[in-house]
Amino acid sequence: MKPLNLLALLVFLAGLTWALTRSERSVREIQATYYRAISPFLTVGSSLEARARAFLDEVEHSKLLEAEVGAMRDDYGRLKLIESQFRKVEEENAALRRALDFQERTRFEVVAARVTRRQPTTWWQTVEIDRGEASGIATAYTVVTDQGLVGKIDRLGDQRSTVLLLTDEACQVSAKVEGSPEVGILQGQREQFGGVPTLRLRFLSRDARLREGMRVFSTGRGGLFPADLLLGEIDRLEPGPLASEALVRPSVDFQNLGTVFVLTPQKEES
């Protein structure tokens, strides 16, 4: 081997060792810097894409869009009314809890975000959304839709972030089954293609009695996800010698994710 090649290889190995020994925090900083650097290009690209799509939609479906906007306005008004009622009830609830000296339930604000990119990586089940640190989002924040839990924020940029979906093997949720004492850990399964992905609920008791269609919710334990978020429904129980497992159909339609909501941290009550 030529001396120059050998020297280059040694320098490369030193660089590789440096990269492999980065701490979690350093990696997060590197990723944040990377996202910041490419963010302007992505924003320009996304806005061009959005404009083009909006233009085509407008040309092709202007009447349909008009009807949809009308319907959305109606829905918006109705939801505003419901929200105001909900706030009143929530305030009343909080006041009653305070009066009873109960621990106050965690409250969240939500940030709406649009899914801008699906499956940006080869092996991980992720999507990208158009909200980031600038919108008050941080790593590990919970992402939901009206159907249930979507996942959690994994990588973060100023104007965009990546959501690790519930269907990914790395996304674990402490879960409970409605109408039964069973609790377990729900997670996605490796390499599922086509159709509706199924989740696996593990560490159930050996003689778990679960029926198809029973709903699965988050327990709120473990500090990752808030309690009582709908995760899915039991599809099938697989009894085992030591512990049972169940296959769960997710409540969220992951094929058609459009708008999602990021739960930002609880508000401090005065």
Residue 110 binding another protein, by CB under 8 A: no
The residue range among 1-9, 55-63, 83-91, 93-101 that interacts with another protein, by the rule CB under 8 A, is 1-9
Beta-strand pair 148-156/172-177 = unpaired
By the rule CB under 8 A, 155 interacts with another protein: yes
Which of 36, 94, 145, 185 forms a contact with another protein (CB under 8 A)?
Answer: 185
Piece of 70-78, 105-113, 130-138, 190-198 that binds another protein (CB under 8 A): 190-198
| 161 is an interface residue for another protein by CB under 8 A | no
- Residue identified by tokens 């409970």 is 176
Cα 12 to Cα 21, 23, 111: the distances in Å are 14, 19, 43
| Both structure tokens of 189 | 């399964």
Q: Quick one: which segment of 63-71, 92-100, 104-112, 121-129 binds another protein (CB under 8 A)?
A: 121-129
The reply on whether position 47 binds another protein by CB under 8 A is no
Q: What angle do CA 218, 207, 221 make, to 5 degrees?
A: 20
Q: List the one residue out of 270, 216, 269 whose CA is nearest residue 107.
A: 269
Q: d(Cα 251, Cα 45) in Å, to the nearest integer? A: 32
Site string (4-33) toward another protein, x via CB under 8 A? xx-xxx-xx--xx--xx-x-x--xx-xx-x
Contact of 235 with 223, CB cutoff 8 Å? no
Query: Total binding residues for another protein by CB under 8 A?
Result: 52
Instruction: Measure the CA–CA gap between 244 and 248, rounded to whole angstroms.
Output: 13
Please list every residue from 207 through 236 that binds another protein, using CB under 8 A.
221-224
Using CA atoms of 28, 33, 36, 38 in order, give the dihedral in degrees to the nearest 10. Answer: -110
Q: Which of 111, 143, 150, 154 is in the footprint of another protein by CB under 8 A? A: 154
Q: Which residue ranges make up the site for another protein (CB under 8 A)?
A: 4-5, 7-9, 11-12, 15-16, 19-20, 22, 24, 27-28, 30-31, 33-34, 38, 41-42, 45, 49, 117-124, 139-140, 154-155, 164, 169-172, 174, 185, 187, 190-191, 193-194, 221-224
